[in-house]
A and B are shown apart, each in its own frame.
Chain A
Amino acid sequence: MDSHQLPPSYSIKRWLLTTNHKDVGILYLVTSLYFLILGGVLALIFRLQLAQPGLNILSPPAFNQAVTIHGLVMVLFVVSPLAFALANYVVPLQIGARDLAFPRLNALSYWLYLFGGLLVMISFFQDRTLDVGWTLYQPLTSVFSPYVGVNTGGLGLALLTASVTVSTVNFVVTIFRSRAKGLRLTALPMFTVGVLLTVLMMLYAFPALLAGIILLASDRILGTVYFTSPQGGAILWDHIFWFFGHPEVYIVLFPALGVFGDILVTFSRRPLFARRIIIAAMVVVATLSFLVWGHHMFLTGMHPDVRRAFTVTTIAISLPFDAIILSFIYTLAKARIELKTPMLFVLGSIAIFIIGGITGVFLGSIALDYVLRGTYFVVAHFHYTMAGGALVGLIAGVYYWYPKMTGRMFSEKLGRIHFILTMIGFNTLYFPFFLSWEMPRRVPIYVESLVPLQQIATVGGFIFGASFLVMFWNLLYSLRYGEPAGSNPWGAHTLEWMTESPPPPHNFDGTPTFVDGKLSFIAANGAAHGEPETHLSRWPFMLSLASFLALLGLTTHLLVSVVGVGLLAFSVLGLAGERFISREEDLGERWPFERVDRMKLAWWTFISSEVVLFGVILSAYVYVRTASSTWPAPGTLLDIGHGAVNTFILLTSSLTVVLALASSRMGSRTCTAGFLAATLGLGILFLFNKYNEWSELFSHGITFSSGLPASTFFLTTGIHGAHVFAGLLALGYLFARALKGAYVGKGHETLEYFGYYWHFVDIVWVFIFPLFYLV
């Protein structure tokens, strides 16, 4: 379908089928604001409960569910998706691309996110939704909260991690491969820099969460004992969760830092102060963020030296932040500051973030953390950073790009009123939390002396909540009645403002380039491209709906799952067989991946996140094994023979994949199909052997729950086996197409990409075999 034939914006079909990055951005925006209302209303309900110690608005279980879902929804379903709303809309425009590298995957990310959120919401209507805190501590979650809704909510999170992985790969490839010529990585607008570093952190943090959820689900559903046994238990979960959880804090924050950078330049009429140092500092933070997770575990009885190391890394991370925030402030010197709504929000957000940052240093000090941990001081700190720094910062971005998205100006007066209400409401709500630092988090009952502070906070909460109504009204009213914005209402210098508002489906007339150090457009040569690009596909929606049904059935009725799996197979085939045209820009700045085409880069990106997934699962094994005083000797629990045979089979199958690729390059259809068939056969043989091995264990009474040696073996080889199985499905498809002569002459890259995946799965086995069978 031609780009100019996108259905009109009032058509439902347009919004269900669109793959255009700007439409997907709007979908993300509306959905994340919807979840903001959900999370906000939950917070207001428990703020009412907390207005008096003895109130009974929420029963204790309801209170726990409210705080848990509030936290999860705000962190995972509001702030990050709001950032992705802006990223979807703005990043391709800022780098001069026509769309993201993989438009259909982009739509898929959105729909997976929405359906993940739906699963979480459905869990409210089952016996109980997640009631264990957003940190899902163990063994509370694994055994002591035996509610069906907890499973549903957890599956919703799993769907969200799938969404994140897909969009991460997409943004990495887009930002590395689709930049306008001359737009070097260091010359990217700050928002795109923020998004790039965000997705790189996501790429390595979210697989840890996924691994954690897999282990947790396996404990809850299959009966493995990762978190019920003391050798794994609470501490193992802490390590896994916070390895994800601390980078997540910066994942939430970095897009807002990017927003700060762009808006500061625009409204202070000066270049950013020490721009390159800011970028370098952000790279340092992103790297260090994976080395500070231990400060969430200071009281768990870690080795003193380990605690000291984590204190140093945690407090040290404040230094690059100093450099970033101070540079932002120095930018204001000798500036000509226009205090328009977006700028007001940025300055307010920076001020709030400074308080959040300073109090973060308190929590990095173990000796203080001993006392402050689990109190309202922590709650105050992370709301100052994540709600004040990240959310309010992103709101600045919503105002800033609203004219670009809609072509209309919002009401400046209402914007200012919103700003003032935000600052008053926010600080009235959260500052009393610092002063309530003797009060435990997540308790509906507290001492009388704190009543005034808690009541002030509740009042502040309602002001903060009401401030958003002003924004919603402003944004909706101005959609219709706002002044026309023109292409560049703020006089900004970045590329997204160099096209109409809203931009046409292909973003720019002509190809933007910075070859001469300044923007120019190369006139479009329509004849050079044959077919117009596609902007519609039904499969992202269908695939997500199918996944949703497949997971929902697990906690409701298995028939739903069966329908889901059927639809899933149908959608995957539909997606694979669809004719979808999305060309890469001919001219582009691609350093350092000039020679890696975009599919290849996507596969490598995806596989590197899989490395973390298996890394965490194998680390969990090593962890529990080191913590256990006894472990069965090699050859006693597991038969080395089975393992050795399977190693031989898989390694051989790696060879046959290589031969299949070589045959397709040489143009032999028979050999290509033959070697693919051989690989398929070997894979089936591997799984058959695995099946025999598992049945033998089962027949000896060894099951998922027979202690850690059995649990870790079944889980690890099970996840690996699932990867082999997924590979076999792909192989079946490749084989069927190879029989018809595909991949011969052209298209053999497909086999190469599959090869990467298959080799990776083999390499994982090369680690599993010695770790489980030989040592």
Chain B
Amino acid sequence: MVATTVDIFTSLWSIFSTLGVLVGVVVMAYMVYLIVRNRAKPEGPEPEDAPKPGELPREQKGAKKLLISVILSASIVLTLISLTFIALDNLDRPPAGAMEVKVIAFQWGWKFIYPNGYESIGELRIPRGTPVKLYVTSQDVFHNMGIISLRLKVDAIPGKTNIAWTRVYETGVYDIRCFELCGDGHGVMIGKLVVMDPEEFNSWYSSLQVS
């Protein structure tokens, strides 16, 4: 099977979260270790270089230690940037042969225009396995079309058309929600993406009466 938007996101997400948790745990464990080890004991002496009242600030030398730490972080960060760019290339390049659907967001709902000109509100039907390319815009305010379970999100901006794509290998119903505050009805601006068996989809699609 070819990669879907879900696959692209999931693989990147797992790398980021593994590294993120790892770095976080190591740094915090080290911090806690230092705190526990160096907690002041009543009999403990002052460190030799303890700052004295009225002194100008001094510093602990440590450029080398810091440099090593930062180079380490930099290498992690560079890896993350390159992985991001690779993922981005795939996200920016919709597969060929996609079904093209126009999406118009409005206060507060979604309108879909199919290639044959058929328009529907609130529900988008697509065939399983076929890539779908969405041309998303808005007729009033800034919305954001998100199908979170498909890891798909795109801004719907008046006067501008943004493109997103997905391909779903499982039939089912997925929530479409608005992810940008757009007024009183923002919370209920919910649509449905219905992924159908290709044959069922074709028979439904060819039966449509388009004026």
Contact = CB atoms under 8 A, between A and B. Distances in A.
B204 interface: no
B31 A347 contact: yes
A354 B180 contact: no
Interface string A340-356: 00000001001100110
A493 B52 contact: yes
A517 B56 contact: yes
A233 B159 contact: yes
A60 B184 contact: yes
Interface stretch (A156-164, A365-373, A563-571): A365-373
A441 B24 contact: no
A318 B77 contact: yes
A329 B27 contact: yes
A361 B80 contact: yes
Interface string A262-305: 00011011111111110000000000000000000001110010
A472 B83 CA distance: 48
B200 interface: no
Given A335-B38, A367-B12, A311 B84 contact: yes
Interface string B175-188: 10111111111111
B59 A332 contact: no
Secondary structure dominating the interface of B: mixed
Contacts of B27: 325-326, 329, 354
Interface residues of B, number: 86
Interface stretch (A12-20, A130-138, A682-690): A130-138
Interface string B134-168: 00000011101010110111110111111100000
B73 interface: yes
Contact of A331 (B40, B60, B84): B60
Contacts of A315: 77, 80-81
Interface in B1-59: 8-9, 12-13, 16-17, 20, 23-24, 27-28, 30-31, 34-35, 38-40, 44-47, 49-59
A269 B62 CA distance: 17
A117 interface: no
A274 B9 contact: no
B24 A270 contact: no
A235 B158 CA distance: 10
Contacts of A713: none
Contact of B179 (A187, A329, A441): A441
Interface in B73-119: 73-74, 77, 80-81, 83-85, 87-88, 91-92, 107
Contacts of B8: 367
Chain A interface residue bracket vs B: 35 or more
A217 to B, nearest CB: 18
Given A316-B77, A366-B88, A518 B54 contact: yes
Contacts of A312: 81
Output the residue of B12, B16, B87, B141 with the most chain A CB within 10 A.
B141
A137 B182 CA distance: 9
A534 interface: no
Contact of A140 (B9, B73, B181): B181
B16 A362 contact: yes
9 contacts: A67-B181, A139-B142, A140-B182, A271-B58, A318-B77, A326-B70, A361-B80, A362-B20, A367-B12
